[in-house]
Amino acid sequence: MKFGAAAASVRALALGVLAFGAATTVLAAEMHGNVFGDPFLGVTAGIKDCPLQQPSTFTEEQMRTEAHSRAERGTRCFQSGQCRLPSSYDYDKEIVPRVKKAILNDGRYADTSIWVEGQRRWVWLKGCVRTRADAAAVEKLVREIDDVERVINELAVTPR
């Protein structure tokens, strides 16, 4: 009788281990956080019903592919003479805080909710503005910042 109970316990434990293994495999295939450490900052918070923005996420497979692509894109900039730093990604930790400072110092964007993300001298503008003119103006402002190569404007218009 004891062997039966012990065998049932071992089976239950084995099933639990298998279930845990399957769950971790599924989680590994799901999205991961900001694995490359791309700078991502909230800048303004004037629109309360603007959805919270998140940095880019990657699956395990996307991370492997992206790591290879990042190595190529990052060094190509330096090799072509377009970057003074060894990788275009080396600029991002300086650019994103300057973008935040420029938006805040401008003074026109208190009634917006803007997040910025940087990757390889590209700046993503995410969040909400009140008008299309605000979206265009903040994009123009950011485009003029030193070392910014491109601006991807993903700002949504959220009228009052």
Domain boundaries, the chain: 1-30, 37-56+89-157
User: How does DSSP classify residue 110?
Assistant: T
How far is 11 from 17, CA to CA, in rounded Å?
A: 10
Taking every pair of C-alpha atoms in the chain, what is the biggest distance, in angstroms? 79
Predicted local distance difference test score (pLDDT) of residue 2: 53
Question: CB under 8 Å, gap of 24 or more: what pairs does 63-68 form?
Answer: 63/32, 63/35, 66/36, 67/36
Predicted local distance difference test score (pLDDT) of residue 99: 98
Tens of pLDDT, residue by residue over 35-52, are 888 999 999 999 999 999
Q: What is the mean pLDDT of residues 143-156?
A: 97
Residue 127 or 66, more confident: 127
Find how far residue 79's CA is from the centre of its chain: 26
pLDDT of 143 above 70: yes
pLDDT of 148 above 90: yes
Tens of pLDDT, residue by residue over 81-127, are 988 999 999 999 999 999 999 999 999 999 999 999 999 999 999 99
Predicted local distance difference test score (pLDDT) of residue 59: 87
Predicted local distance difference test score (pLDDT) of residue 16: 44
Structural tokens at position 145: 């910042």
How far is 126 from 152, CA to CA, in rounded Å?
A: 9
CA distances, 156 to each of 42, 92, 136 (Å)? 15, 24, 11
Contacts of 115 (CB under 8 A, 6+ apart): 40, 41, 42, 43, 53, 125, 126, 127
Say which CATH class 37-56+89-157 falls into: alpha beta
Predicted local distance difference test score (pLDDT) of residue 126: 98
Tens of pLDDT, residue by residue over 1-26, are 455 554 444 454 444 444 444 443 44
Q: What is the mean pLDDT of residues 55-84?
A: 89
